[in-house]
Homo-oligomer: A and B are copies of this chain.
């Protein structure tokens, strides 16, 4: 596909201040992205945050004078518990808001941030504006399953999604799965509580009808249940930001609980310890499969520019993975396809007025 795309570079702003591990980890992630070739020969990564601090860290990581690294000073920091409105009103000098302003002004094509999700969703929506045809962005996470991965969206941007928003999520998620997972025609499922038609309430029924009306414009396979998502039922699981966020966090809670249970028992009992050592590569594999850092970035789909949210607790691997996903998405030029997809979806919505 890239044969027809001229080999121009892309510019990404990395908000270095919002993560739980601080700017040191963000700058280390930038260095990793350089070393691993994630930042291509024509690309630029702009580190946004307290500039003196960032330059010192960049020196430690030997990227201070690297030609693909630039710096932008931002004195303020968004804290994990800052309310979204506080950030928008009184943290205009923060690294998050300044990075978003750079995206708005066209200085960069994407922002990667480990900052507070709610602030990023709100500030991203207000500063960068929704893509034409979209109303609200959706946060799309890449999740592991038995074989490979699937896209789950929305994991928290829009808790009260209407059927129209869910249809938009389906279109955006499908195009994102093409770019991020390399699946030509991703199978899209609508998450609900029973796979027969009519289950799950009016909102699900209306969404199901709209998805069916899309015809061959989307590879919609129908409703799916919670059981199905880790199997091979579909590649994109569509839900509202309330359900998606609760699923994501509950699964994470379960994974940590299981890990702690195994860990504490293995430590207490020498027989388990012996067994645990023999099984160590397996447990490491499993942890790798389940750990969120594997695909550290969740894009905020449906905005006029690409905003990539990385987990607040991301380490350098997680953040560099988010940078990689950002450059990949830019390389695939998904923005135009998403806009075309939203236009098709909105035509279907207009042609299928809600029967009240």
Write the chain B residue with the least CB distance to A246: B226
**A→B interface (CB under 8 Å):** 81, 83, 118, 145-146, 156, 159-160, 191-194, 196, 199-203, 225-231, 239, 241-243, 245-258, 260-262, 265-266, 269, 271-272, 274-279, 281-282, 285-286, 289-290
Is A146's CB under 8 angstroms from B226's CB?
no
Question: With the chains together, A309 CA to B271 CA distance in Å?
Answer: 39
Contact A193 B241 (CB under 8 A): yes
Chain B min CB distance to A202 (Å)? 7
Find the B residue at minimum CB distance from A280.
B275
**Chain B: CB-nearest residue to A116:** B194
Pick the contact of A201: B159, B193, B225, B258 (CB < 8 A): B159
A227-B252, A253-B227, A253-B228 known; A258-B286 Cβ under 8 A? yes
Contact A145 B246 (CB under 8 A): no
Query: Are B246 and A239 in contact (CB-based, < 8 A)?
Result: yes
* Contacts beyond the supplied A230-B250, A254-B254: 10 A-B pairs with Cβ under 8 Å: A193-B241, A193-B246, A226-B247, A226-B252, A227-B249, A227-B253, A231-B253, A254-B255, A258-B258, A266-B282
Partner of A254, one of B83, B191, B230, B262: B230
Expressed in whole angstroms, the Cα–Cα distance for A285 and B271 within the complex equals 15
Residues of B with C-beta under 8 A to A242: 192-193, 200-201, 243
A251–B252 CB distance below 8 A: no
Report 28 cross-chain contacts, Cβ distance below 8 Å, ordered by A residue. A81-B196, A118-B194, A145-B257, A156-B193, A159-B200, A160-B202, A191-B246, A193-B246, A201-B242, A225-B249, A226-B245, A226-B247, A226-B253, A227-B250, A230-B250, A230-B253, A231-B253, A242-B243, A246-B247, A261-B286, A262-B282, A265-B285, A272-B279, A272-B282, A275-B277, A275-B278, A275-B279, A278-B278
Q: Check B256–A230 contact: CB distance below 8 A.
A: yes
B261 touches A272 (CB 8 A): no
Question: Of B81, B226, B228, B275, which is within 8 A of A275 by CB?
Answer: B275
Query: Bound state CA distance, A258 and B239, in angstroms?
Result: 23
**Smallest distance from the beta carbon of A237 to chain B beta carbons, Å?**
10
Q: Chain B residue with minimal CB distance to A286? A: B261
Kindly provide the distance from the CB of A263 to the nearest chain B CB, expressed in whole angstroms.
Answer: 11
What's the least CB distance linking A213 to chain B, in Å?
23
| Given A262-B282, A272-B282: A250 in contact with B253 (beta carbons within 8 A) | no
Contacts of A261 in B (CB 8 A): 146, 286, 289
Q: Are B279 and A245 in contact, with the CB atoms below 8 A?
A: no
Known interface pairs A253-B230, A258-B286, A275-B278; A193-B266 also in contact (CB < 8 Å):
no
Q: Are B278 and A159 in contact (CB under 8 A)?
A: no
User: In whole angstroms, how far apart are the Cα atoms of A225 and B286 in the complex?
Assistant: 25
Tell whether, in the assembled complex, residue B282 and residue A160 are in contact, meaning their CB atoms are under 8 Å apart. no
Contacts of A83 in B (CB 8 A): 196
In Å, the complex CA distance between A192 and B160 comes to: 12
State A74–B341 Cα separation when bound (angstroms): 54
A81 CA to B194 CA, complexed, in Å: 10
Top 3 nearest A-B pairs (CB, nearest first) are A226-B249, A275-B278, A275-B279
Residues of B contacting A202 with CB < 8 Å?
160
- A229: B residues at CB distance < 8 A: 250, 253
A274 CB contacts on chain B under 8 angstroms: 275, 278
